[in-house]
Structures are given as C-alpha cells and as structure tokens.
Amino acid sequence: MLQEQIIHEINNIPSNKLNELYDLIHYFRLGLLHEQQELDANKAYPLLGVKIRYDEPFEPVCIGQDTRRWQAVKDQHTVDTENKIRENQS
C-alpha cells in the first residue's frame, strides 16, 4: 500500500527532476545501509572504543621464579598507584 502511494507520487514528478529524486533515494538508501553496518559492528565488538581501566593487573598462573617476578611487578604497580593518589591529594 505505501509503496503504491510512493510510486504514484513519483509518477507525478516532472521528468527533468527525476535525476534529483533518484540521487535523494539512492543516497538515503546508502545512508540506511551504512547505519545498519555500524549497528552490526557495534554488536560484534561491544567494547570497541571503550576505555577500560584495571586497578589490579591480571595475575598469571605461574610457579617458581616467575612468581617472584610477578610479585615484583605487582609491588611496583602498588607503589605507582599510591604515588598517583598522593599526587592527586596534593
């Protein structure tokens, strides 16, 4: 029904204006396609563009010497975090 009304309206447009109408319809359709592709992309990667901050690094499963290295990294991270807190309080 709606398509018939649209076609009826198009039939009443002068021939010399059909190019403009075609451009309008064509680029409108391309805009809809682009909009749908953006929505699909956002669904595929919901955290795309979202800045994530971790207060505590993920701990790897490790044993022996690697555990000591990881603890050193954690300790340094803690010191860095405490220093940032002190700087912000100043």
What are 25-74's pLDDT values in tens digits? 999 999 998 888 887 776 766 666 777 766 655 555 555 556 677 777 77
Phi, psi (5° rounding) for residue 20? -65, -40
- Distance CA(60)–CA(66), nearest Å, equals 9
pTM for the whole structure: 0.42
Q: What angle do CA 53, 77, 79 make, to 5 degrees?
A: 125
Residue 58 and residue 39 share a domain: no
Scored b (16 or more CB within 10 A) or e, 45-67 reads eeeeeeeeeeeeeeeeeeeeeee
Total structural domains within the chain:
2
Q: What is the mean pLDDT of residues 13-35?
A: 92
Q: Kindly report, residue by residue over 74-84, the tens digit of the pLDDT.
A: 777 787 778 88
Q: Which domain holds residue 13?
A: 2-44
Residue 8 and residue 27 share a domain: yes
Confidence bin at 88 (pLDDT 50/70/90): confident
